[in-house]
Amino acid sequence: MADGNGALLQDPVARLLEGGPVWNGESDDILVCRAVRDETHDVKTFLLAPRLQHRFAYRPGQFLTFEFDIDGEAIHRCYTISSAPTRPNLVSITVKRVPGGPVSNWLHDHLRPGATVKAIGPMGEFSCLNHPAEKYLFLSGGSGITPLMSMARTFHDLAEPRDIVFVHAARSPADIIFRSELETMARQSKSFHFAALCEADSGSEAWGGYRGRLTLPMLHLMANDWLTREIFVCGPAPFMAAVRAMLADAGFDMTRHHEESFDFAKLSGAEQEAVREAEAVMPVGKVYRVEFSKTRRVIDCPEGVPVLEAARRAGVRLPSSCTKGLCGTCKSKLVSGTVELKHQGGIRQREIDAGMTLLCCARPTSDLVVER
């Protein structure tokens, strides 16, 4: 319908929609940041485009390997594509800011629209398309949501009526990534079901849904036919391990269980630490209630997490210094409850006998009341 004059006024976006050759990181590894979007208080999505008129082709669940130039040092990091291949003009990665994580902090603080990064890929075998099934169960923990989101978005964009139960485990309602989009998908599609579970309330929202660790009874409530589903799991290693054990114990056919794992050994020490730190915050066991009697604050403390750490995450500041059980700065009275305490001389057995504990290295084994 366009006449010759109209061509001069054409919006450049029109050209983008004409498509183009498939982007190949081997021949041109530069991607341009087009936008940065906030997902949660500590998760951002970075939208990336090729420099030339190319389009992306990949399987949902695959990842790109990036090379970031951070303080003059080239650091490599894999990020799963969170966007769907049904929208080929851009790819997005969705990154949680990890305390002490050099890459995630650099991305959050420095990657702005217009900046470029190097990437190769896509790569990876973790995709529902490699295991066709009528019914899927997606189990995601924390930022492990990204490959499963890519899969869910793909089916949704294609209006493909696969029966999908999408489960996401988060720290608090404020940490549920893509929450409104998943709720919208569930509302629009009868075959898409979304269930979230949280380990704690967030400051602005009390959580009324599933709480704590993913258990079999919980799974039955979410999808009573879960045994018949193809299961895809992605999340922190302990989360995946717990799920694996739970499914195996329940007699699930483990050939139909798939999990995303990346080669941890390839990461630098600092990155490994950052990953471990990120993983430490995921609910992989029981969650205990910890009440601070003086300030009347209540937090949830997952099994295996020191009380001080859980308090910090919940924004409750307590006196502390070494966080190693040496200095006793966090010494507090345990009014009720039991903890496992591995300290380094910062407290005496007599003090423990008298009801004192070191919050930095006390891991709850029951609900607690702490005099603070």
Comparison of 198 and 360: residue with beta carbon closer to another protein: 360
Minimum CB–partner distance for residue 317 and another protein (Å): 15
Element (H, E) at 65: strand 63-70
Comparison of 134 and 340: residue with beta carbon closer to another protein: 340
CA distance to 76, 107, 159, 270, per residue, from 266 (Å): 9, 20, 38, 11
Q: Which of residues 303-342 bind another protein (CB under 8 A)?
A: 321-322, 324, 326-329, 331
How many whole angstroms separate alpha carbon 222 and alpha carbon 292?
33
Comparison of 246 and 326: residue with beta carbon closer to another protein: 326
Comparison of 51 and 348: residue with beta carbon closer to another protein: 348
Among 343, 359, 362, 363, binds another protein (CB under 8 A): 343
Amino acid sitting at position 357: T
Q: Report whether 112 contacts 63 (CB < 8 A).
A: no
Stretch of residues binding another protein (CB under 8 A), selected from 191-199, 267-275, 343-351, 362-370: 343-351
The gap from C-alpha 180 to its chain's centroid, in whole angstroms, comes to 16
Minimum CB–partner distance for residue 319 and another protein (Å): 9
Task: Give me the sign of the Cα torsion angle 25, 27, 29, 33.
Answer: negative
Minimum CB–partner distance for residue 352 and another protein (Å): 10
At 294 the three-state DSSP class reads coil
How many whole angstroms separate alpha carbon 130 and alpha carbon 338?
47
Comparison of 121 and 306: residue with beta carbon closer to another protein: 306
Among 15, 220, 317, 348, binds another protein (CB under 8 A): 348
Minimum CB–partner distance for residue 187 and another protein (Å): 50
Q: Report whether 179 contacts 145 (CB < 8 A).
A: no
Among 188, 345, 355, 366, binds another protein (CB under 8 A): 345
Q: Is 190 in the site for another protein (CB under 8 A)?
A: no
Comparison of 326 and 369: residue with beta carbon closer to another protein: 326
Q: Is 346 in the site for another protein (CB under 8 A)?
A: yes
Size of the site for another protein (CB under 8 A): 15
Structure tokens at 105: 């902090």
Minimum CB–partner distance for residue 353 and another protein (Å): 12
Q: Report whether 194 contacts 183 (CB < 8 A).
A: yes
CB atoms within 10 A of CB 120: 14
Among 181, 303, 351, 367, binds another protein (CB under 8 A): 351
* Residue pointed to by tokens 């998760």: 43
- Tell me which residue of 175, 236, 235, 166 sits closest to 200, measured CA to CA: 175
Which parts of this chain interact with another protein (CB under 8 A)?
321-322, 324, 326-329, 331, 343, 345-348, 350-351
